Amino acid sequence: MRSGVAPDRVIPTVADPAAELVTVEASDVQLVRGTPRIVVRFTCDDDELAEQVAAHAASVASTVVDVNGWFLTRRDGGRWKRVA
């Protein structure tokens, strides 16, 4: 987290801008192999628009946390398929 950022503000800072563009279903912070991961799950019928939303969320996230990368997945049946 960046200096001066309250932990309880991280998720809303990232999820709220996405919610202006798409329907956000869930948001959370997960710990994956010792690294924190912000997850914002949203609905979008178009992969190109979804990628733009994800890039926007990552850009906004970089104002409150260090972003070392981001990716986008789409649910396909019972599996998650990487889109970007």
Pairwise CA distance, residues 16 & 11, whole Å = 8
Residue 62 confidence (pLDDT): 95
Q: What is the pLDDT along the chain (84 residues), one digit of tens a residue?
A: 888 998 899 999 999 999 999 999 999 999 999 888 999 999 999 999 999 999 999 999 999 999 999 999 999 999 999 999
Residue 2 confidence (pLDDT): 87
pTM for the complete prediction? 0.88
Is the distance from CB of 27 to CB of 40 less than 8 angstroms?
A: yes
Pairwise CA distance, residues 80 & 35, whole Å = 20
Burial bucket for residue 38 (CB in 10 Å: 0-12, 13-18, 19+): buried
Q: How many CA atoms lie within 13 A of 15 on its CB side?
A: 18
